[in-house]
Structure 1
Amino acid sequence: MAKTIFKRIIDREIPAAIVYEDDEVLAFNDNNPQAPVHVLVIPKKELPSVADAGDDDTLLLGKLLMAVRNIARQQGLENGYRIVINTGPDGGQTVSHLHLHLLGKRPLHWPPG
């Protein structure tokens, strides 16, 4: 199976504007931002989607959310932000590697679309 674009970023085969990294999580600016701040937060573990997460991934999922919190603080999103996880084709997921979108620095309306 071919590597996803996110795995290629993790492996440093493709450059990315990295804003956060630890042993399990990598975060970088989205190349097609939908808000002034649009960061993708991904696990380094190859996990296709949140639907594919097992009970043994509970700690990793928590670490992803805590990374989002820390990045939001770093990016100055004290006025609020949105976290989006697209899952599956009908959910709008286009890369088969779990990723969280952190969006902020503009008013975000509901419903999103």
Structure 2
Amino acid sequence: MKRLVPLLLSVIVCTSAFAQKKELLEDKDTILQRADQALVAFMQPGAELYETVVKENLTGTYAIQVSFRDKGDICSVFVVSAENGNIPSQNRFKDLVLQGNMPFKMPKGRQYNVTHTFDLNAINR
């Protein structure tokens, strides 16, 4: 029993050491480019956002300004323009984007935003 507790603690420490960490980006242009790539990836088949849009039959074309900070947390979503959609679809889509995360982190205290256009009507259903 005396050896079991240290063994369990060492196993926990070792497994947390292999946890995947987000890449730290410091160049503004690189951050904005990777953020745009991440937003494109959100709408690829198999992605959680894509699957939810298809399942809930959300429609419209939205230009959305996404703000994100420090650890890649999306902190605000603003709909710049909306076409061919309805208000419930727009609000639901905005909320879904707000739940996302960027796959990288940035220097502490920094916040960036990028505008991206999502065309939900172009999705094959």
Query: Do the structures match in fold with TM over 0.5?
Result: no
Normalized against structure 2, the TM-score is what? 0.29
Larger Rg: 2
Q: Looking at secondary structure, tell me which structure has more helix per residue.
A: 2
Higher strand share: 2
